[in-house]
Amino acid sequence: MGSASTRFHFDAALRQRGLTGAYSLLIGLDQTRADSAAIAAHVDQVVRQVRAGPSGEAGPSAPVLAGYRALHQAFAVPTRKLVSAPETLLRFVEKRGDIPRILPLVDLYNAVSLETGLALGAHDLGRIEGDVSLRLTTGTERYQPVGSPAPEPVRAGEYGYIDDANEVLCRLEVRQVEKTKVTAATTDLFLIVQGNPATSAAQVIAGHDRLLALLRQHFGGTLIPLHRPD
C-alpha cells in the first residue's frame, strides 16, 4: 500500500505533449479537527463569486478549460463524453447553483478547482499500491469509476494516473475511482493539481500552493512534494 515513500513517475513523452502538474503527498491529516461550518462558508463564498462573475467563454477560467478540451482532442478523446473535472464543476454550478457537497475535504479541493479552473484530485494513499505513474494507457488497466458497481473498459492511448497494480486512479483529469476515493477515515493523500498547455508553471504552482495551504489549515498534515513544473 502507498506510504510516505510513494514515488511519482511522469512520462517524459506526455510532458512534451503539454501535460503539466504539481503533485504531493499530505501525510497524517486529521479530518476530525476541521470546522465543517467554516469550510462550508468558504465554499459558499467561492460559489457565490463564480455565480456573480462572467461565465462561459467570458469567464476567468475559460482559457484553462479550453486547454483541457484541446488536450483531449490531441489524444483523440471523445470530448462530449469525457469532460475535464473543472469544466464539469462549472457546468454544475451554472445549472444548479452549487457544487455537489461530499465531504469537507473534497468540497474544499473542489472549491479551489472552481476558483482556478485547474483539475484537482485527492486520493487515499493507503489504497494505492506502490508508486503512481502518469502515462499512456494500454487498455489492460483495471478501471472502476467512482459510483460504478463494476470495472469498466479503458481505451488504449489515453493518459491516466496508474498505480503499480495496473489500476487507474484517475482517467485523464476526468474521473476518479472507487479504489482510492477519499472517505472520512482517510489520513494520507496523494494530491494532483494538473494543468494543460494553456496553463503556465506559475499558475499550476499557485493552485497547488493554494490547495495545500487550505488543507493544512483545516486538517493539518505533513507535506511531501513529489513534482513541480519547471
Rounded to whole angstroms, the Cα distance separating 42 from 210 reads 13
Task: Yes or no: say if 179 and 127 are a contact pair by the CB < 8 Å rule.
Answer: yes
- What is the average pLDDT value for the chain, to the nearest integer? 95
Query: 2 in a domain, yes or no?
Result: no
Question: What pLDDT is recorded for position 53?
Answer: 83
Query: Which strands make up the sheet holding 222-227, listed edge to edge?
Result: 119-124, 189-194, 21-27, 222-227
**For the sheet containing 132-136, what is the strand order?**
8-10, 132-136, 159-163, 168-171, 175-176
* Average pLDDT of the segment spanning 178-197: 98
Residue 99, exposed/middle/buried by CB under 10 A (0-12, 13-18, 19+)?
buried
pLDDT at 227: 98
* Any domain includes 63: yes
Within 13 Å, how many C-alpha atoms sit on residue 183's CB side? 8
The confidence band for 37, taking pLDDT boundaries of 50, 70 and 90, is very high
Q: What radius of gyration, in Å, describes the C-alpha atoms of the chain?
A: 16
Per residue in 205-216, pLDDT tens? 999 999 999 999
pLDDT in tens, 108-118: 999 999 999 99
Q: Is residue 116 part of a domain?
A: yes
CATH number, domain with residue 108: 3.50.40.10
- 54-72 average pLDDT score: 85
- pLDDT value at position 80? 82
Q: Which residues span the domain enclosing 222? A: 8-227
pLDDT of residue 56: 65
Predicted confidence (pLDDT) at residue 229 exceeds the cutoff of 90? yes
Q: Is 119 within the bounds of a domain?
A: yes
Q: Looking at residues 3-28, what average pLDDT do you find?
A: 96
Q: Answer whether residue 57 shows pLDDT above 70.
A: no
Identify the residue with better confidence: 185 or 57: 185
Q: Is residue 3 part of a domain?
A: no
Map residue 158 onto helix, strand or coil.
coil
Domain count for the chain, please give it: 1
Answer yes or no: is 122 within a domain.
Answer: yes
Answer yes or no: is pLDDT of 85 > 90.
Answer: yes
| Average pLDDT rounded to a whole number, residues 181-186 | 97
Q: Which residue has the higher pLDDT, 59 or 176?
A: 176
Instruction: Name the pLDDT band for 79 (thresholds 50, 70, 90).
Output: confident
Is 55 a residue whose pLDDT tops 80?
no
Query: Does residue 121 belong to any structural domain of this protein?
Result: yes
Q: 18 in a domain, yes or no?
A: yes
